Structure 1
């Protein structure tokens, strides 16, 4: 019974064991604590049926929302000196590393400025070539330049010469430009090279 505790999750003191044959016939109860399993008529295909008398219900302890928890106000937690937050702040790790945070902010601003400058050099209606990493180059016409609702930063909406896009110029319920289905796409400014690129036939 003690070995079965790990299998069925019920204490040995709360188990009643029954032995069934391969034909699902009751062969008897395993009710002698000092007896070995071999002293019972066990054969290939037999199974041991466990009856749980503990009163526990299946899944009773799986729903953690029913477990009472200790909660502390954030203002009280902030005052503690023995908390993880206090330790991270003292070590200046993660978001508490102000110098690293300033560097990340500066890098983000620099990337945004570069992206904005590249976008400003693109004019709606201009012919271009699009090179996205991992994809073949495609020729297209610039249809939209600017910020969008679906992702931060500057984006270029293009109309491909062939149906190699993802949409018709509309994303997330907002229309940015008009084109045929599967001809439209949005790419980052650094993926767009403006120039004299005749339409592919």
Structure 2
């Protein structure tokens, strides 16, 4: 009796993205879930290409650049179309959002603020619709709150104190606090730690500027929220001990 076999296909597809606007370069392969609806796919492509999800049309091309399908049903899923890894997804649109950013020195027709605010395909509408930049008030407030909390944690850390550094995905490390404050070229506040073992990334300096002294690979700069100060005695590493 023959066994039943089931063909299993990947849940994602990698597609090369191109556009009908010759001024917009093509994009390297993007990975999309096959269960994404075409409407949601257009919303993602709006962020990638600058086209408008309300007006764009999508075409699928084979690896030898032959048109194989038109993704015209917004309620359909991407996996319902015969698209495979390495094929090309072509975005056809007027790219009015992108064009607003690329007018250069060419004289442009300027709308009044009232008329511009009512345009559905303007850059402002695009930013507001996706809650980007200064149109995302919650994000701005959260960032300011986090920065303030980070500064408060940093100021509370005592120089010279023993500490434990815990970062997601990395082993816990013990050391001593050698620096706290701003680091040139890096955003926010930082804690400079001299580790008990050579598990760091530097010698207490960043881009040629020194913040504290320690041997190479014993130093590290970590965010204040990843540092816990306390009674953490240096462990005794007996290199001669064998098991």
Q: TM-score w.r.t. structure 2 length? A: 0.47
Instruction: State the Cα deviation string for residues 105-152 of structure 1 (Å, max 9, x = none).
Output: 211100001101111110110100010111111110001101111311
Which SS does the other structure have where 1:112 is aligned?
helix
- Inter-partner Cα distance in structure 2 for 1:190 and 1:177: 20
Moved over 6 A (4+): none
1:180 paired residue among 215, 220, 238? 215
Report the secondary structure of 1:129's partner residue: strand
User: Does the Cα contact within 8 Å between 1:125 and 1:143 map onto a contact in 2?
Assistant: yes
Q: 2 CA distance for matches of 1:77 and 1:174?
A: 50
Q: What residue is the counterpart of 1:76 in the other structure?
A: 108
134 and 104 in structure 1: CA distance in 2 versus 1, 3 angstrom threshold = same
For residues 56-93 of structure 1, give each alpha carbon's deviation from its aligned partner in whole angstroms, at most 9, with x where no partner exists.
xxxxxxxxxxxxxx9653772654979x9962324633
What's the counterpart of residue 129 of structure 2? Answer: 93
2:174 is matched with which residue? 139
Aligned 8 A contact 1:88 1:96 in 2: no
Give the one of 121, 129, 132 matched to 2:156: 121
Does structure 1 residue 197 correspond to structure 2 residue 232?
yes
User: d(CA) in 2 for partners of 1:74 and 1:114?
Assistant: 46
For structure 1, the 5+ residue unaligned runs are 1-69
Inter-partner Cα distance in structure 1 for 2:123 and 2:166: 43
Q: Tell me: CA distance 1:184–1:79, structure 2 relative to 1, closer, same or farther (3 Å).
A: same
Question: Cα distance 1:78–1:119, how it changes in 2: closer, same or farther (>3 A)?
Answer: farther
Question: 1:97 Cα deviation (Å)?
Answer: 7.4
The 1:90/1:169 distance shift into structure 2, 3 A limit, reads closer
Alignment CA distance shift 1:73-1:149 (3 Å):
same
Question: Looking at CA atoms only, which structure, 1 or 2, has the larger radius of gyration?
Answer: 1
Match of 1:110 among 108, 120, 145: 145
Gaps of 5+ in 2: 1-101, 237-243
Distance 2:123 2:215 in 1: 53
CA distance in 2 between counterparts of 1:131 and 1:75 reads 55
Greater Cα shift, 70-79 or 183-192: 70-79
TM-score (norm 1): 0.56
Q: Which structure shows the higher helix fraction? A: 1
Query: 1:149 pairs with 174, 184, 209, which one?
Result: 184
Give the SS at the match of 1:76.
Answer: coil
**What is the rounded CA distance, in whole Å, between the counterparts of 2:187 and 2:137 in structure 1?**
20
- Are the counterparts in 2 of residues 124 and 145 from structure 1 also a CA contact under 8 Å? yes
